[in-house]
Amino acid sequence: MDTTRRTPILTAIACAVASAAAVAQYAVPGMIPALERGPDWWRLVTPLLVQTLGWYQVVTNLVTLALVGAAAERATGRWRWVVLFAAGTAGGQIAAYSWHEPGGGDSIAICGLAGGLVVWLLAGTATPWASWVVVGYVAMLTGWGLSGIRAAAAAALVAVVVLVVVRDKRFVLAGAVVCALVLAAASDLHGVSLVAGMLAGAGLVLTRPRRHRGAQVTPVTGLSTPDTTAPQLVDAPGIKDPL
């Protein structure tokens, strides 16, 4: 199956839920304090539904969810998308509660998708579109986490230049791994979620079933390729088959 043509259904559903939640949080003022991180057990998941930093967090997370989510779903498949989404959420929430960070947002889940996608592309074919999306996202997160919005813009510009200049995208993707580790070492929730997604992605790559090694199949017709090394029976001239 051509993964570039896989419809990102889960991403579309996630974007629809995020959009509805964003409208609700502005329509119902008490929604954010009721769902953001806190001592109640349901707040392990509900912080994904509220963007506590305001409208720019709503827009940024919605756009990046659409881009990174679609790239990850097309590359890895739907059930792996769910695994990466959950891994980023779990890693980010554990770090947030450990460091007593309040708030909410679905960026930690998006980071799980991004981290897993980086590893998946490193282990396979680094498609240009997916590489541009995930490298640009990780670069902006790194700049934002270390020095704010100006650094995020500068990091995005650097990522574009590097992606244009470097032909082998695996080197650029390896740089995204370094950025994730730097963010995690700086006690940034996004860095932790990126690393969690990368670890989950590595597990998915290692457990991915190998392709069946049987008869060679031509890419166009799907017919078995004949074995040219085997002796071929040829009718001799003038001799008819008795059957």
pLDDT tens digits for range 31-44: 999 999 999 988 99
CB 45 within 8 A of CB 71: no
Question: Does some domain include residue 10?
Answer: yes
Would residue 233 count as lying in a domain? no
Average pLDDT on 106-125 reads 95
Q: Cα separations (Å) of 25 from 30, 104, 224?
A: 8, 12, 58
Quick: pLDDT tens for 38-75: 999 889 999 999 999 989 899 999 999 999 999 999 99
Output the pLDDT for position 58. 95
What's 230's DSSP letter?
A: S
Contacts of 61 (CB under 8 A, 6+ apart): 18, 51, 105, 106, 107, 110
Looking at the 3D structure of the chain, how many domains does it have? 1
Cβ proximity of 32 and 105 under 8 Å: no
Measure the N-to-C terminal CA separation of the chain; round to a whole number of Å: 44
Task: Specify if 74 maps to a domain.
Answer: yes
Does 230 map to a domain? no
Find where tokens 């997604």 sit: 197
Q: What is the pTM of this model?
A: 0.84
Residue 4 is predicted with a pLDDT of 55
Which range of residues forms the domain containing residue 120? Answer: 3-206
- 211: pLDDT confidence band, cut at 50, 70 and 90? low
Average pLDDT (169-183) is: 95
Give dist(CA 155, CA 161) in Å, integer: 10
pLDDT of 222 over the 70 cut: no
Residue 219 lies in a domain: no
Residue 3, pLDDT above cutoff 70: no
Which CATH number do you get for residue 8?
Answer: 1.20.1540.10
Does 220 map to a domain? Answer: no
